[in-house]
Amino acid sequence: MNLEQLKQYEGEDASPYARAMIESFRSIGYNLSTAVADIIDNSIAAGAKNVWIDFAWKEENTSLVITDDGRGMKEKELVKAMRPGSKNPLLDRSQEDLGRFGLGLKTASFSQCRNLTVATKSKELNKIIYRCWDLNYVTAVNKWRILKYLSDQSLIARLKKLTTGTSIIWKDLDRIIDKSGESPEKAMNQFLERIESLKKHLSMVFHQYMENQKLTVWIKNRKIAPWDPYLKTEKATKVIAKAIINDIIEVVPYVLPLHSKINRQVFENASGVKGWNSHQGFYIYRNNRLLLAGDWLGMYKQEEHYKLARIFVNIPNTVDIDNIWQLDIKKSVATPPPEIKTQLKEIADKTRKEAVEVYRQIGERRQKSNSKNKVLVWTDKKSKGRRFYQINRSHPIIANFLSRYPSSKAKLNRLLRLIEETVPLPLIVSNETENNDFQTTPFEGKASSDMVKMVIELYESFIAEGKTRDEAVEEILRTDPFAHYPELIENI
């Protein structure tokens, strides 16, 4: 139906109730870290070089102020900025502008507090102006109304010292300050823990801006250091083939060094906020701002032996790209379209292969040095001109089992004999020669459950025998088939 036809029908007003709608703005799913990151996106868009996060713990009267030295806003701009949906998401924006929906300032703030004041100073006006959203007031009057209100001059002390800039002031922080009768000490500790997570989150999300000296973020006058997911300054970090997809998407696949090749502290720091295993995969940036930090985009599961693979992917922030990558309001989700996903998967395959190779190499080195006295599951024997294959009764797993159930020992031995005597040799030989490239390593693709249990049992039995950790690990690495999985054993 076209627009002209629709206009002929009777219409009725169905604008949202301020009271109900503004409360639902609170539930977009931000936490303190993602909310502050969204506020800093605006600072970057306003050309800020510095962002200061200040707070003073006063229990329920605690406030949090985010100040930038960007260009600030004139009065009309300020009023417009306070409006939910201040800009059309379909409009093109400058490259530095990380915004899209005209919502972030409001939704991120309301997710954490009930009172938001924006104070700003532009070159044109050269004085501080402010506006305030107060959720209690909106609820009482049931109107979308902002106030010319600032509760306390001390909250703009930082802004007063700047020539231009903006302060986002959060008061009545009901979502992060627990008033439910907890002891004030506990509430303060919880708050400080959240600040600690915030610090880590910002050093990750804006690491590119910080590394390139485009932005400095200060928490209570202390500068936050960038977190480099790729350990770019380590000599042992490898860059696999760089690529540019569709002329605009920059891809740099990294394989990080093994822990034995780097300093312990560097290794621990590289584990990031989620830990080594969860930080493998793609790192998706939108104009150098990190959206996703380690995710295989549904292509694979995260597995221990691929944890050294981290792939940088930077997309620009145009209307079309944001649309087809399905950017969300919080800027926490971006999904590549199918044809790009296929190309990314090829790159991921290559990178994962290289990442697992790092472990295979140490495995092989150890295997070589141990090959003389390696303990195999199967041994081959020759008797009366006939070759036959036997299960090694002194292989630790089998020996353990036999000694654990002495009453069934004879039965178990008969079972093993049965298997040995009926190995379908001719079938194996003919199948293997047909499919030369189909030889797999033992437990290929199943290293997760049965293998892990067996390794742990074996390890425990060696320790029970009085071996040290290192001796037990050496012993397991000599034992077939575990020698194929050094990364598993290293992690015991």
Ligand X SMILES: Nc1ncnc2c1ncn2[C@@H]1O[C@H](COP(=O)(O)OP(=O)(O)OP(=O)(O)O)[C@@H](O)[C@H]1O
272 lies in the binding site for Mg ion (CB under 5 A): no
Q: Which is nearer to Mg ion, 166 or 280 (CB)?
A: 166
Q: Nearest distance from residue 218's CB to ligand X, in Å?
A: 15
Amino acid symbol at 30? Y
CA-nearest of 355, 362, 360, 340 to 239 is 355
Please identify which residue in 33, 34, 42, 109 interacts with Mg ion, judged by CB under 5 A.
42
Q: Which helix (H) or strand (E) holds 452?
A: helix 450-464
β-strand pairing of 281-286 with 309-315:
parallel
| Exposure on the CB side of residue 269, measured as CA atoms within 13 A | 15
How many residues bind ligand X (CB under 6 A)? The answer is 18
In terms of Cβ atoms closer than 10 Å to its own Cβ (0-12, 13-18, 19+), residue 390 is: middle
The binder of 46, among ligand X, Mg ion, none, by C-beta within 5 to 8 A per type, is ligand X
Q: Interacting stretch for ligand X, rule CB under 6 A, among 68-76, 156-164, 392-400, 415-423?
A: 68-76
104 contributes a contact to Mg ion by CB under 5 A: yes
Do the beta carbons of residue 41 and residue 104 sit within 8 Å?
Answer: yes
Question: Does residue 50 belong to the site contacting ligand X (CB under 6 A)?
Answer: no
105-140 in b/e form (b: 16+ CB < 10 A) is bbbbbbbbbbbbbbbbbbeeeeebbbbbbbbebbee
Answer yes or no whether residue 363 interacts with Mg ion by CB under 5 A.
no
Rounded to the nearest whole angstrom, what is the least distance from the CB of residue 317 to Mg ion in the complex?
12
Could you say which of 46, 64, 65, 291 contacts ligand X (CB under 6 A)?
46
Q: From ligand X, Mg ion, none, which one binds at residue 102 (CB under 5 to 8 Å depending on kind)?
A: ligand X
Asked if 106 touches ligand X (CB under 6 A), the answer is yes
Complex with Mg ion: residue 46 or 270, whichever CB lies closer: 46
- What whole-number distance in Å separates Cα of residue 167 and Cα of residue 118? 6
- Which of 43, 314 has the CB closer to ligand X? 43
Scanning residues 107 to 166, which ones bind ligand X (CB under 6 A)?
Answer: 166
Residue 284 CB, nearest distance to ligand X (Å)? Answer: 16
170 binding ligand X? (CB under 6 A)? no
Considering only the stretches 4-12, 98-106, 256-264, 310-318, report the one whose residues sit in contact with ligand X under the rule CB under 6 A: 98-106
Residue 109 in contact with Mg ion, rule: CB under 5 A? no
CB of 274 to ligand X, least distance (A): 25
CB of 35 to Mg ion, least distance (A): 11
Cα separations (Å) of 399 from 15, 396, 412? 77, 5, 11
Give the integer Cα–Cα distance in Å for 245 and 240.
15
In this chain, which stretch among 47-55, 99-107, 163-171, 341-349 interacts with Mg ion, using CB under 5 A? 99-107
**What Å distances lie between residue 486 and 323, 441, 467, 472, CA to CA?**
44, 13, 19, 13
Residue 101 near ligand X by CB under 6 A: yes
DSSP 443: T
Shortest Å, Cβ 49 to Mg ion: 18
Please state, as a whole number, how many other Cβ atoms lie within 10 Å of the Cβ of residue 30.
23
> How far is Cα 268 from Cα 247, in angstroms, rounded to an integer?
36
Q: Which tokens hold the place of 149?
A: 């209100």
Q: Contact residues for ligand X (CB under 6 A)?
A: 42-43, 46, 68, 70, 73, 81, 86-87, 99-106, 166
Q: Contact residues for Mg ion (CB under 5 A)?
A: 42, 99, 104
